[in-house]
Each structure stands twice: as structure tokens, then as C-alpha cells.
Structure 1
Amino acid sequence: MQPYIAIAIGGILGCWARYAMTNLVQAIYGRDFPYATLSINILACFLMGFLFVETLERLTISPILRTGILTGFIGGFSTFSTFAMETLLLAEQGDAGKSVLYVILSIFFGMLATFGGTYIARNL
């Protein structure tokens, strides 16, 4: 039961963090392009790569806390389902070019951030 509680607490915090970052990014860059979701997904990918390695190879934390952080917080913070919906909406609104660009940027920078996070964690 403890892992579920850890995931729930992490998920709540991750969702709050996503909401706050969405509001901040949209206030700065507007809503013409899904910059908020893009930046959240890239940051979440980096954090997943970095914290996965850190909590496995360097830091000694309980498996329950690790699950709460990786599955709960980052899972609640990441917005991949929102990414999919926004991609569809861009395409349906006749912005096929933006839709394709959004997918390419999300995948490229998401993978780059994940590799960067694991690289930094392993080479600190």
C-alpha cells in the first residue's frame, strides 16, 4: 500500500507543478504554440533520465520514495497525453506544419534531454 500512497502524493505535487509551469509559460509566450507542454515534456524527460540514474547508482533512497518521485511526481508532471491531444488539435485546425513541427521538436528535444540527464548524472 505504501508505494500507492507515495505515487499519489508525488502525482499531486507533479500535477500542481505542471499547472504552475503551464500558467507561467503561457503568460510569457502565449498560446499560439503549445510551448508550455513542450517545455514540460522536455523537462520531465530530463528529470526522468537524471533522477533514474541518480537514485539507482548514486543516491541511497527507499524504493518507495523512488517510486513516488519517478512514477508519481514525474508521471503527474509530464503531459504526454496533452501533447497527443494538442498535436491532433493543431492538425484539425489546419496547422499541419505546426503539428509536425511540434512532434519532431518534442521527440528530438525530449530524447536529447533524457540522454543529457543520464549523462550529467553519471558524470558529476
Structure 2
Amino acid sequence: MAQVLLVGFAGGLGTVARYVVGLWAAKTLGTGFPYGTLLVNVAGCFLMSFIAELALSTALIPPTLRLTLATGFLGGFTTYSSFNQETTHLLRQPAWLTGAANLGVTLVGCFVAGLLGLALAKRIALLV
């Protein structure tokens, strides 16, 4: 039961963090492109790879913390459904170039961020 509460609490924090990033991105970068969703998804991919690798290759992240961070916080923080809705909306406007840019930048950015998170975790694991 404690794990369920931890995941739920962390998910709530992740959701609030996603909302705050979205507000910041809209205010700072504008609303012509879904920057907030892109930022949380790229950051989330980096963090998910980083946490998973450290948890699997070291004792720095125990199983309950991994569950809390990965399933809870990052589950609430990242948002594929928003990415899908925003991209579909752009393509239906039709803002083809912006929609295609969102699709490409998100897919490549998240993939690269995941690789970078994995690489950083592997370096840290070698030091432990």
C-alpha cells in the first residue's frame, strides 16, 4: 500500500511540474509551437533512461525509489497524449511544417535524450 501512495504522490508532483513547465514555456517561448510538451518529453526520456540505468547497474537507486520516480513522477510528468493531440491539431490547421517539425524534433530529441541519460548513468555507475 505504501508503494501505491508513493507512486500516486509522485505522479501528482510530476503533473504539477509538467503544468509549470508548460506555463513557463508558453510565457517565455511563445505558443506557436508546443514547446512545453516537447521539453517535458525530452527531459522525461533523459531522466527515465538515467534512473533506469543507475537503478539496474548500481545500488544508488533502490527499487522503491525507482518505482516512485519512474512510474510516479515521470508518469505524471511526460505526456504522449498531449504530444499526439498538439501534433494532430497542427496538421489539421493545416500547419504542416510546424506539425512535422514537432513530430521530428520530439522523436529525435526524446531518442537522443534517452541515449544521453543512459550514457551519463553508465559513467556514474563506473565511479561507484
- Under a length normalisation based on structure 1, what TM-score does the superposition of the two structures give? 0.94
- The offset of 1:79, in angstroms, is 1.3
TM-superposed CA distance for 1:60, in Å, is 4.0
Equivalences, count: 124
CA contact (8 A) 2:42 2:110 kept: yes
Which deviations, in whole Å up to 9, do the C-alpha atoms of 1:9-29 show, x marking residues without a partner? Answer: 110010011111111111100
| 8 Å Cα contact 1:2-1:64 kept in structure 2 | no
1:81 is matched with: 81
* Per-residue deviation, residues 60-80 of structure 1 (Å, max 9, x unmatched): 444222211100100100011
Alignment match, 2:17: 17
Instruction: Give deviations 1:101-121, integer Å, cap 9, x for gaps.
Output: 111110001000000000011
- Separation in 2 of the partners of 1:121 and 1:60? 11
What's the TM-score, normalizing by structure 2?
A: 0.91
The one-letter code matched in structure 1 to 2:18 is R
Inter-partner Cα distance in structure 2 for 1:59 and 1:78:
25
Q: Secondary structure at the match of 1:123?
A: helix
State how far apart, in whole Å, the 1-side matches of 2:59 and 2:24 are: 31
Please show how residues 46-61 of structure 1 align to structure 2 within 5 Å. 46-61=46-61
How many angstroms apart in 2 are the aligned matches of 1:76 and 1:107?
19
2:101 paired residue number: 101
Q: Which amino acid aligns with 1:85?
A: Q
What is the RMSD computed on CA atoms of the aligned residues? 1.2
Pairing of 1:13-52 with structure 2 (within 5 A): 13-52=13-52
Structure 1, gaps ≥5 residues long: none
